Amino acid sequence: MPQRKIIHVDCDCFYAAVEMRDDPTLRDVPLAVGGAEGRGVVTTCNYRARAFGVRSAMPGSEARRLCPGLVTVPPDMARYRAASQQVMAILREMTDLVEPLSLDEAFLDVSDITDHRGSATLMARYLRERVRQEVGITISAGVAPNKFLAKIASDWRKPDGLFVITPEQVPEFVESLPVEKLFGVGQVTAAKLHSMGVKTCGDMQLLGVDTLIEKFGKQGYRLFEMAAGRDERPVIVSRVAKSVSVERTFSQDLPDKTACETVMPALVADLNLRLARKGRQKPIHKLFVKIRYSDFSTHTLERVRESVAEPEVADYQPLLDELVTRADRPVRLLGVGVRFRSDEAPVTQLRLFD
């Protein structure tokens, strides 16, 4: 079986990060979302608050006792969902194999992605920079051969961190990993393992799979596999892809529209490769072009083109002509893509509103 490349991304203190992004006066104070009064509990807090011992799920009264200067704001789920959708859209531009675990974290399987020289580390750096620039928050990322290790890695250098565990590093990494880091090991299981003299994954490997199964049943086998750094769970995609796109951020801005037209053939060729790799999709409903200028302003234009089976450069030229109103404006990013027809609404209705 080919070696998987898994990225786990986790937004740093997500709700609090959105609040600090939207209100700069909150950036330099200890901040909690929720827990303002009565029996309310803290939903999320920033790292300044965490330095005082404030934690999520803590009663607000206890949080204020630990941190008398704590500033609290009520949750605004609509804004958090909007930010989450932005983050997830950026992840899905990299690969369709995205498994969201909540609003603020997800697994990606990038094993077959050839962008960024096929390097999952470079992909993770790219995703972190995109989210920083476009969403205005930071994410931590972990890169590893499986989901279990990738999730541990994303927490290793929080906040705003990137940690990579290569296949060769797995045996040494898990050797000294505390058993508390294993998924499903809470206080009760950890105490039971400690009573058996097991404090690290290395200890668990020495104990052996038979003893673990005898003591913990089926969970014992799973514990042993994780202790050896093994996890065969696939990234589970519950969402059907609605679009496929490719884009390039240029290390030096493209000087003008003519330069954009020069790189379009390569972009469209990459798009068709990606479409072929994904196998038979729903019929194409729209084509779109995305452009980001040197001042970071971003514009997307899409048009219904249902007769297109395999997009060509000529199909995108009218969109580029309409989108680029100033021929000499430097371009930082250029992208092309397709949106598939949705079965959720009649095609005639879609046409009516296009």
| Alpha-carbon gap, residue 62 to 303, rounded angstroms | 55
Q: Phi first, then psi: what are they for 226, rounded to 5°?
A: -65, -40
Token pair, residue 163, equals 């940690």
Prediction pTM value: 0.71
Give the integer Cα–Cα distance in Å for 243 and 281. Answer: 10
Q: Which of 19, 93, 99, 105 is labelled catalytic?
A: 105
Mean pLDDT of the 64-80 span = 93
Summarize pLDDT for 213-239 with one digit per residue, the tens.
Answer: 999 898 899 999 999 999 999 998 876
| Residue linked to tokens 């630990």 | 66
The answer to whether the annotation marks 96 as part of a ligand binding site is no
- Report, as an integer, the average pLDDT of 305-310: 85
Q: Is 105 designated active site?
A: yes
Grade residue 38 by pLDDT with cuts at 50, 70 and 90.
Answer: low
Tell me the per-residue pLDDT of 259-305, one tens digit each, with 9 for 90 and over: 999 999 989 988 888 787 666 567 899 999 999 998 888 899 999 98
Q: Which residue has the tokens 């053939």?
A: 265
Q: How far apart are the first and last CA of the chain?
A: 45
Of 54, 47, 89, 231, the closest CA to residue 151 belongs to 231
Per-residue pLDDT, 183: 83
The annotation status of 104 as a binding-site residue, yes or no, is yes
| Residue predicted with more confidence, 38 or 195 | 195
All structural domains of the chain: 1-165 (3.30.70.270), 170-228 (1.10.150.20), 243-340 (3.30.1490.100)
Q: What is the distance between the alpha carbons of residues 193 and 179, in angstroms, rounded to a whole number?
A: 8
pLDDT the model gives residue 111: 92
- pLDDT classification of 105: cutoffs 50, 70, 90: very high
Cα–Cα distance measured from residue 167 to residue 146, given in angstroms and rounded to the nearest whole number? 9
**CA separation for the pair 285, 302 (Å, rounded):** 10
